[in-house]
Amino acid sequence: MWNPISMATVLRAAPRFGELVLDACCGDGASAVPTAELVGPGGAVDAVDRSEAMTELARERAEGEAAPLPQLRLHAADATEWEPVGYDLVQCVLGVFFFDDVEGGVAHLVDRLKPGGRFVVTLWAPGAVKDFTEALCDAVEAEGGEAGAEAVAAYRSGGRPDVPSTPGALAQWLGSFGLERTRGELVPRHLDLDDDLAWRLVLGMSRRRLVADLDDATRDRVATAFHALRAERGISRVDLSTIIGVGHRPE
């Protein structure tokens, strides 16, 4: 799931040999590792994620590559408080949804760029993962007991951050941060599901927090209810469409 989404971003970010890159909210390194390969030993990638577990997964991904990547520098830190500047490229794949202050966080990342540098951001398209998530929430409410009900209530009260929902709106939004030559693009993507993959997606996405506090037996009941609801509602595919925006800091 993450590799094609991240590679679509890297394709549009177009990292070049020798560039200095900040990969904000790097997760398991799905965009940071290929970017490090492209900038080569003459460049560097600072891959930042607030989760130490995620940066460790990124390290394991990098160690699995055919050649060492000393240019990949992993940091367990908050990207919205990252201080170094002068980057040729700053990219953030589905990370702004974790910012407490989306506008402030994006402005901070843009400020890390050197004049002429590129900012690339990937957002979920409207409706992406919606039916899948609703079925999961309903299953957790039905079978998760008090802990499940509290988790669903907390998840639903969080809502979707106020971010652009169309390529044109994304391009305009990036312009509000002082970026030039902005553009946005819809990247449609759907993934066929079976029960195993559907549950692995639950555990591999931010929706994991809906079941994180459940004991094993309760989690198994939730999984069974979730699969039954998917079958009942005909959810055999998940929408993983994104919109990707690119902008340039003025020279």
Residue 35 is part of a domain; what is its CATH number? 3.40.50.150
How do strand 72-76 and strand 44-49 relate by DSSP bridges? Answer: parallel
d(CA 72, CA 224): 41
How do strand 20-24 and strand 44-49 relate by DSSP bridges? Answer: parallel
Q: Are 64 and 36 in contact (CB under 8 A)?
A: no
Domain-terminating residue out of 108, 124, 140: 124
Whether residues 151 and 111 share a domain: the answer is no
Is position 85 within any domain? yes
Phi, psi at 170, each rounded to 5° = -65, -45
d(CA 139, CA 144): 8
Whether residues 88 and 144 share a domain: the answer is no
Whether residues 37 and 134 share a domain: the answer is no
pLDDT score recorded for residue 224:
97
AA letter at 241 = S
Cβ neighbour number for residue 125 with a 10 Å cutoff: 20
Whether residues 214 and 117 share a domain: the answer is no
Q: Are 250 and 178 in contact (CB under 8 A)?
A: yes
Q: What's the number of CA atoms in the CB half-sphere (13 Å) around residue 11?
A: 9
Whether residues 110 and 222 share a domain: the answer is no
Whether residues 59 and 153 share a domain: the answer is no
d(CA 196, CA 245): 33
Is position 165 within any domain? no
Residue 247 structure tokens: 């902008």
The closest alpha carbon to 251, from 169, 204, 199, 181, belongs to 181
Q: Are 132 and 1 in contact (CB under 8 A)?
A: no
Whether residues 9 and 112 share a domain: the answer is yes
Whether residues 16 and 74 share a domain: the answer is yes
Low-confidence ranges of the chain (pLDDT < 70): 159-160
Domain containing 213 equals: 130-157+192-238
Whether residues 46 and 61 share a domain: the answer is yes
Whether residues 58 and 97 share a domain: the answer is yes
Whether residues 140 and 76 share a domain: the answer is no
Q: Are 93 and 30 in contact (CB under 8 A)?
A: yes
Is position 164 within any domain? no
pLDDT score recorded for residue 10:
97
Residue 29 structure tokens: 């390194």
Is position 177 within any domain? no
Which pTM was predicted?
Answer: 0.90
Q: What's the number of CA atoms in the CB half-sphere (13 Å) around residue 73?
A: 11
pLDDT score recorded for residue 159:
64
Number of domains making up the chain:
2
Q: What's the number of CA atoms in the CB half-sphere (13 Å) around residue 180?
A: 6
